[in-house]
C-alpha cells in the first residue's frame, strides 16, 4: 500500500497492485483495475516513485530495528535440525 493525498488534503492508502493507469490531466488521475478513478495531489512521477519504493521494500524483505538483514550470513550452508536421536 502507498499513501497518497486526495484533493481535499485527506490521506488515502492505495493498493498499488490495483492501479491500472496513472494519468497527468492536469491533476493526477489513478485508474484502478475495477475502473474506479481516484484524483490525487501527488504528481504522476511521485506516485511512480512511491510504487517503486514500496515494491523494493517488499523484495528486500523484513529488516530488524537496526536495519541489519535477518540472516547474519545468507551464504552460510543450511544445516537442517533433526528430531531423530543418534543411535
What backbone torsions phi and psi does residue 12 show, to the nearest 5 degrees?
-140, 130
- Cβ atoms of 12 and 30 within 8 Å: the answer is no
Mean pLDDT by 10 residues, the chain (87 residues): 97 97 95 98 97 94 62 52 53
Report the pLDDT value the prediction gives residue 61, as an integer from 0 to 100.
82
**Cβ-Cβ contacts under 8 Å for 56 (sequence gap 6 or more):** none
0.75 exceeded by pTM: no
**Domain locations along the chain:** 2-60
User: Which pLDDT value is given to residue 62?
Assistant: 75
Amino acid at each position: 500500500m502507498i499513501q497518497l493525498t486526495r484533493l481535499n488534503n485527506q490521506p488515502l492508502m492505495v493498493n498499488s497492485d490495483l492501479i491500472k493507469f496513472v494519468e497527468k490531466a492536469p491533476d493526477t488521475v489513478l485508474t484502478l483495475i475495477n475502473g474506479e478513478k481516484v484524483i490525487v495531489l501527488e504528481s504522476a512521477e511521485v506516485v511512480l516513485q512511491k510504487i517503486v519504493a514500496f515494491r523494493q521494500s517488499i523484495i528486500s524483505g523484513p529488516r530488524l530495528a537496526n536495519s541489519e538483514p535477518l540472516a547474519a550470513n545468507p551464504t552460510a550452508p543450511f544445516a537442517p535440525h533433526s528430531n531423530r536421536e543418534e543411535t
